Every structure is written in C-alpha cells, then in structure tokens.
Amino acid sequence: MTPAPPLRLTRLRLTDFRSYPSFEQRFAGRIVAIAGPNGVGKTNLLEAISLLGPGRGLRGAKAGEIGRRAGGAPALPWAAFGAFEGPEGLTEIGTGTSGEPGAEKARRKFLVDGEAAKSQAEIARHAGAVWLTPQMDRLFQDGASGRRRFLDRLVWALEPGHAREVAAHDTAMAGRNRLLAEGRRDAAWLAALEDAMARHAVAAVAGRRALCQRLNLLLAAGTATGAFPAARLDLLCPIATALDEAPALAVEDRLRAALAECRGRDAAAGGAAQGAHRSDMELVHLPKGLEAALCSTGEQKALLVSVVLAHAALIGAARGFAPLLLLDEVAAHLDQTRREALYEALACLPAQVFLTGTEPDIFAPLADLAEGFWATPEGLRPMSHGVVPGAAIR
C-alpha cells in the first residue's frame, strides 16, 4: 500500500472547551508528546482535535455537554479551531455551538475556511483522526454495545454515511418497540417501521462487514502494524452471515418477514431480537489463535494498537491523506518491548501523532524525534527534559 501524505495540525485554538476558558498552541512536530499529571486537561486537548473531523469525537459526547462549566453554572457555548496542512494545501476548520448556556439541544456547526460546511462528508475530505483511549482497555470485558460502537467508529471514519444508516435503524426500531409496548397493532404502521429497520440494518451491517474485510487484509499482512501482532476482526452477526450467502435485497426480505413474524415475542421481550443492534465484534490474536477476551491485558492493548495502525493506513489509502493519530495514555499496559515497538512504528508511520502520558520519562525513546510539551491547567509549555522540545522527525 503506497503511503499517503500526512495531514498536519499546525495550530489549535479553543474557547470555553471543557476545562479551558481559552487555549492556543502551535505544533511543529510530526510526533507531539504531551506529559502531565491527571486532571490537567490532556485528554480534553485530544478530544478537541478529534472534533475537528467528522463525528462526535473520542468521548462520543453530545454538543451540549462539552462547554466549560464555570462554578457549577450551565455549560457555555464552545468553539474549537484548527489550522491544517494537507495534500490540498492550507485548510482552517472550526466547530462549536452558539446560543444560551446550558441549552440541552445545542447544535454543533462546522466552518471550513470560514464558510459553513454542507455536510460531515465535506469535513471528511479535509480532516480526520483515529484514536486509542484508556476506556478501550475494557472493550473485551464489557458488553457487545461497546464493541459495536468501536467498530462503527472505524466504519464511520471511512464512510460518513454509515452513521445515518445506524441512526435510521435505531429510530425505526424505537418506534416499533413503542408501538408493541403500547399494544398498538397497526399493521401498516408496523410494516413501514419494519421495512425501514430491514433496509437500514442490512446497509449498516454491510458497512461493518466491508470494513472488517478490508482491515483484515492489512492486519494479516502486517505491513501497517510493524512488530505488533497480526490480528483478525470477526463480525458476529446473523445478518452478516446471511450476506455471505445471499444478495442484500434477499437478506432485507428475510429480515422484514422475520420482524413481522416475531411481533408478539418482541412485545413480550421488550425489544427486537433481530437487527443491526445485535451485531458483536471479536478480535483474534492470529499468532496464538486466541480470542482477545482470553488474552492478557497487555496483549489486548497490543491488538488494539494493531487495529488502529492498520485503520490509519486504510484511511490514508482511501482518502489520499493519512489521518491524525491520537493516542491517550497509550503506554499503559504496554511493557518496555511493546512500547519501543510502538514508537518505532510511529516513527515510520506517515501520519502526525499526538501522544499523552503522565510522566515525561515514558517518552524518552522519542528524544530527538518528537516535539514535547508539559501540560498545565492553563495550557502547554515546552518540555525541558525527556523529549527535546521543537525537534523535528528525522
């Protein structure tokens, strides 16, 4: 796979974003290491960067939850601005909310070079990011919904329309559940909702299935993951299995008929037994032939790093530029050998990388390779030890 040119964030400016009343910082390095104690806002900075691309960012927060809360007051309107250098030259992207503090349905808006963006797909043409956060450490111990959201974020990064399919499916399903719970058996209304569920479920699962197939080719080859273990993503879903054997329209017909047949059972159970919401994901450690849930915590982290590195390469090939890579406390649960393997992979990856950690010494192998900062509640200051400030990647 031919490496894509990197996308670079050269300036970040925030207003009333999470813990920051105001913030502005320029970045020169291709690898940016940010160290500092817990609670100073390191993750907030990565979240702000993630929100400059399509989607709801690395926390998945609603727009009205992001604004700074001064002294317990309602959340303020917020803004994030980034200046990027990419294959198409310089681009400025802004996003945020307006209106009264504490608005429950605050609507987020985007600007590209000062003009209102027409769609999330337009944003995806100019910027994007992939990430790994500590919350993902429990991905294989918690329920299927978390794994499904993780997989959907991977699909969304490549196919912005995927989010619409998932949302439309869930909306139709909620309407059907409500009718069944109320005992209303309006056949025409239920049939319309089941038709929407079937169409959007098959589309959503097809997107997940295609992403797994594309990622698995890269993961098996190992060309994008360096010394990290080869892995395989398995989509556990009856609809995906059906798509292996029949055309999408035939699978839609079967699902539509199954939903109609199971109305009584679903009413008693309080929800649909079939649909896109029943998908799960399994990650397999190929060299060991072991499911991630049975691997050690360190091995699980290594597998997730493999997936994120391969996904970054996949986005780069698909979009023509490598996305930003945001790694929050990534060294946690990685031993020294894997940590050094990660840094070696990042040095070769054609992408700008932002890393955070509590101790600067953990970034010592990146000396002379990264631009380093020490995080404080007020902002960032150049690091005076551990990572050479302002150094350029060789």
Number of helices (H), then strands (E), belonging to the chain: the values are 10, 15
Amino acid at 191: A
39 is in an annotated binding site: yes
5 is in an annotated binding site: no
- Write phi, then psi, for 125 (nearest 5 degrees): -70, -25
Euclidean distance between CA atoms 220 and 225, whole angstroms: 10
288 is in an annotated binding site: no
DSSP bridge partners of 172: none
37 is in an annotated binding site: yes
Q: Is 16 helix (H, G, I), strand (E, B) or coil?
A: strand
CB atoms within 10 A of CB 69: 15
What's 344's DSSP letter?
Answer: H
Q: Are 264 and 383 in contact (CB under 8 A)?
A: no
40 is in an annotated binding site: yes
43 is in an annotated binding site: yes
Euclidean distance between CA atoms 59 and 47, whole angstroms: 7
CB atoms within 10 A of CB 274: 18
CB atoms within 10 A of CB 25: 17
225 is in an annotated binding site: no
Euclidean distance between CA atoms 50 and 123, whole angstroms: 12
Euclidean distance between CA atoms 271 and 181, whole angstroms: 9
Beta strands 89-96; 79-86: pairing state = antiparallel
Count CA atoms closer than 13 A to 27's CA, side-chain side: 30
Amino acid at 225: T
- Which conformational region is residue 357 in: left (phi greater than 0), alpha (psi within -120 to 50 degrees), or beta? beta
Q: Which residues are annotated as a binding site?
A: 36-43
Q: Which residues are annotated as a binding site for ATP?
A: 36-43
